[in-house]
Structure 1
Amino acid sequence: MAAADETPPAYGPMLEGFDYPYPVRTFDFSSQGEDVQMTYLDVAPDTANGQTVVLLHGKNFCAATWEGVMGPLLEAGYRVIAPDQIGFCKSSKPAAYQYSLHQLAANTHALLDSENAGPAIVMGHSMGGMLAMRYAMQFPDSTAGLVLVNPIGLEDWKAEGVPYLGVDAWFESQKQTSAEGIKAYQKSTYYAGEWRDEYDRWVDMLAGMYRGDESDIVAWSQARTTDMVFTQPVIHELETITAPTLLFIGEKDNTAIGKGWSPEAVKSRLGDYSVLGEDAAGRIPQARLIEFPDLAHSPHIQAPERFNARLLDELESWPAPAD
């Protein structure tokens, strides 16, 4: 975050001025009667191993937040593609878009087709993990493997008793977003109560989109994508995933959509990733569970060296999960 005597950065609704670790490309296409632009990173390794990894960001993340994973993957020979989904970060935020995980998966598939990416290892974190599962169900022939990093959606929040608030209420809530609120949430949920200076970059990234006269564009997209993840569970279909799957779980994670406005009896049983991870791994036919007992929602950011070493070890035995 900006120092007390500095002006906080303002990036605008398209994250203008926030630098990504690699050149940003654009994929222009028509969707739902709108001309939209999907930004993405597509980086080739110096020495290719013939495999592609597609990185899907979470709801409070962007393609840039994968930078600590992209470098090691590239060094190991993987081509890496990391899009910003429509409605997020540097991509278009159409006011009347009907958001669905199916639509975002179809957009991603169209992007990969345009780049002749072929069957790819699809890796998703947080909401991106939820999207990656939908992608694997929707496009099994295009999914060489599935890697899930603390995905949300491992429980059906509405079925668990979380009240439905609706887009209007979520919009009003999103308009109150601040750097201080983002940091407090991330500290408790993403990093198990600890904070390091390098995390400030990601707080500034998010908060900067809400600064300026067009902040409602971001809040409106975020409200509607909250509705998307709340009303479109994937948990009931895990048995249909055919791709070999690696499930990375930071067990100190406590993420659950709606936990903050739920009754105490509901709140107390939500977001227990030590249980959710084991349950999901038992239901996905070809899944291997890798647990980090001391890490939280963002293990690849919280402990990048440890996470990347384990990731590359596991990918070397692809496509069959280890015993």
Structure 2
Amino acid sequence: MPGHETWTDRQETTTVTVDGHELEVAYFEDGEQQSDDPPVVFLHGIPTWSFLWRDVAPEIAADRRVIAPDLLGYGNSAMRDGFDRSIRAQEEMVDALLDELGVETVSLVAHDIGGGVALRYAAHNPDAVEELVLSNAVCYDSWPVEFINGLGLPSTAEMPDEELDSKLDFAFADGLYDDEGHEEFVEGMKAPWQSEDGKLSLSRNAVATNTNHTTELDYEAIEAETLLLWGGDDVLQPVSYAERLAEDIGDAEVVTLDDAYHWVVEDRPEAYRDRLAEFLKQQGS
């Protein structure tokens, strides 16, 4: 369970081109290719970063190569102004990053808007995605939620540190099922947004949420073996959306984890990790 500074120290960086912009992407990588099974790529959502996967990705790396990037505008990836951070642009980033790393086929594990990115990538590249795991993911018209709309206001970039800290406490601490033992998660999730560049980037990330990027998708084009591993008590992305996805994706299973809100990876890390590992082993070679 590395702290956020240790996680940052373990990240690598590369530069990708998205919409003509050269942008730095930070990513965590671990494990080795031990079989024909593809790497497992973990995608986080808003307002998190790859640190979300700190209790999951290193364990999966015992059997598979894992890659967990910070989306553009998040974590330790590019935060400067002047580029698109929508899930369409993040899909392009993933494609460019995988090309940079020499990866042709993947297993995708994604949460929140990372799920929207994964859905787009899987629908547009059905031959490249062997396994797809979505957790409390945005889809159809399920997003953006009111809190994220609020962060997209211009005032976010000029907000006093104490006020932003209070808003992020609400998002992270109050969004957990259990009130105890999550200090590392809360502090780690707030860390990227506590600079002037971070506050501006957070506002730009929020305003870039575009429902059209999931309503336009042909979900039936997805061919990957799919697990919808959902926090069952989430009110932001309720399990009814997982059930709708299961109807449209040909080979999909819904598994709900009780006692878990939107931050299911943090609420139920052991159960999440175990069920994910079981799915990957079942589908693997």
Question: Which residue of 263, 268, 271 maps to 1:303?
Answer: 268
TM-score computed with the length of structure 1 as normaliser: 0.76
User: Could you tell me whether the CA contact under 8 Å between 1:102 and 1:135 is conserved in 2?
Assistant: no
Question: Which residue of 10, 26, 38 maps to 1:39?
Answer: 26
Deviation at 1:175, TM superposition (A): 4.5
Partner of 1:69: 56
Partner of 1:121: 107
Partner of 1:196: 180
- The list of structure 1 runs, each at least 4 consecutive aligned residues, that deviate by more than 4 angstroms after superposition, is 164-167
Q: How does 1:126-165 map to 2 (within 5 A)?
A: 126-157=112-143
> Do residues 246 (structure 1) and 232 (structure 2) align?
no
User: Could you tell me whether the CA contact under 8 Å between 2:193 and 2:202 is conserved in 1?
Assistant: no
Supply the AA of the counterpart residue of 1:128. Answer: G
Deviation at 1:203, TM superposition (A): 2.3
Partner of 1:54: 41
Question: Which residue of 80, 83, 94 maps to 1:94?
Answer: 80
Look up the SS of the partner of 2:6 in the other structure: coil
Deviation at 1:127, TM superposition (A): 1.2
Supply the AA of the counterpart residue of 1:312. Answer: A
Look up the SS of the partner of 1:91 in the other structure: coil
Larger Rg: 1
Q: How does 1:136-285 map to 2 (within 5 A)?
A: 136-157=122-143, 170-173=153-156, 175-176=158-159, 178-189=164-175, 191-192=176-177, 194-197=178-181, 199-212=182-195, 215=196, 217-235=197-215, 237=217, 238-255=219-236, 271=237, 273-285=238-250
Task: Provide, for residues 24-56 of structure 1, a one-character-per-residue CA deviation record: whole Å limited to 9, x for no partner.
Answer: 1111133334332111112124x8234210001
Task: Provide, for residues 157-192 of structure 1, a one-character-per-residue CA deviation record: whole Å limited to 9, x for no partner.
Answer: 48x9x8x9799x623246445333322232443x23
Supply the AA of the counterpart residue of 2:129. Answer: T
Deviation at 1:122, TM superposition (A): 0.9
Task: Provide, for residues 239-292 of structure 1, a one-character-per-residue CA deviation record: whole Å limited to 9, x for no partner.
Answer: 23222211111111122xxxxxxxxxxxxxxx4x13222122122222111111
The CA distance in 1 between the partners of 2:269 and 2:85, in whole Å, is 31
Unaligned runs of 5+ residues in structure 1 are: 1-16, 256-270
The CA distance in 2 between the partners of 1:277 and 1:34, in whole Å, is 34
RMSD (CA atoms): 2.8
Partner of 2:67: 81
Look up the SS of the partner of 1:234 in the other structure: helix
Supply the AA of the counterpart residue of 2:41. Answer: V
Supply the AA of the counterpart residue of 1:286. Answer: D
User: Could you tell me whether the CA contact under 8 Å between 1:154 and 1:235 is conserved in 2?
Assistant: yes
Deviation at 1:74, TM superposition (A): 1.4
Aligned length: 276
User: Could you tell me whether the CA contact under 8 Å between 1:153 and 1:229 is conserved in 2?
Assistant: no
Look up the SS of the partner of 1:59 in the other structure: coil
User: Could you tell me whether the CA contact under 8 Å between 1:179 and 1:204 is conserved in 2?
Assistant: no
TM-score computed with the length of structure 2 as normaliser: 0.85
Q: 1:60 to 1:99 in 2, by over 3 A?
A: closer
Look up the SS of the partner of 2:261 in the other structure: coil
The CA distance in 1 between the partners of 2:136 and 2:254, in whole Å, is 11
Partner of 1:258: none
